[in-house]
Structure 1
Amino acid sequence: MSHPHSRRVRRGLIALAAVGGCALTTLVAVPASAAMTGSEKAADPASCPVAAEISQGYHDGHDGVDLAAPLGTPIFAAGPGTVTESGPASGYGQWIRIKHSDGAVTEYGHMNERFVNVGDTVTGGQRIASVGNEGQSTGPHLHFEVHRDGGTGFGDDPLAYMSERGVSLPCTP
């Protein structure tokens, strides 16, 4: 059984090796599926999910990033895909999950309003919801998660995922 953070550890070691210029990358096995080619980036481009500031980052106890914005601020799909969840969710009040062509799932929580339903096909940058303060929340924000594994387990770093697709968080749609 692999350690639950092994993918994150491998990516961190590879990044450190690249910055330091050492040969550590030869010691770490990275599956070919972990690398994204130029054609994949073009096929599934990312879009800014919300105009907001990061109020809580990604870490071992928080598997997404919180983006604080005024109530009602538009939320956009981070990329093209199919809506797999849209409605009430424990802790979130309301949530939306979108499955993308690379197999990843992006997750959006604490919405005030949702504008998409399960089964809808969305485009990157399409308005899907508005920022809310629903569920377990201390103020209006978007909780944004990425699950490269298709939606199970602890989420992956949304900043890294979006950066690989050309979008830095925070951003402006």
Structure 2
Amino acid sequence: MEMTRMHSLFLSSPRPGDTVRLVCDLPAGLLRPALSEGSRALVVATSWGHVELVVDGGLAGMVRVDVSARNCRVIEADTGAERFRRRTALRNAVRIGALIALAAPFVQFVASYWFATGSLDGLLEYLPLAALESAGDFLVSALRDPVRSLLLAGVGWVTWVLAFGRLGRRKR
């Protein structure tokens, strides 16, 4: 009977197939992009205190990097490459959807401006004025219908957090 050693999340070094989280910011190297603390990655290979990772690079796709094992913390053992890729693809779909949802009002404004004036001349001068006017309209809307305004702001915040994470707060 073969006994398998149990893989501990707390006492073991990363092994191929594990999902890890970076525990510190890693500056860009000669052949490595800058990686921020909290980035999730899949361990592909290990050797002599170093791990080769596939990091979720956002909309740019997955990036292969080699980092020291002490810069990683195992968060899920034996995830597997396929499961990690599916999770990353789903997260990228959410990012693209959020990007479309956040860019749609700007695209609508540019199209309305173009149809109203017949050209894009003066768009950059009018854009800050339109942003201030839009903020004022939102405040008036908040006074008239606070529940709807709170829901709109909440959905916008949730969309942003799902797609891009929280601002000014490090992931642990």
TM-score, structure 1 normalization: 0.23
Answer 1 or 2: which has greater strand percent: 1
Q: TM-score w.r.t. structure 2 length? A: 0.23
Structure whose residues are more often helix by fraction: 2
Task: Compare relative contact order (CA 8 Å, sep 6+) and give the higher one, 1 or 2.
Answer: 1
Greater C-alpha Rg = 2
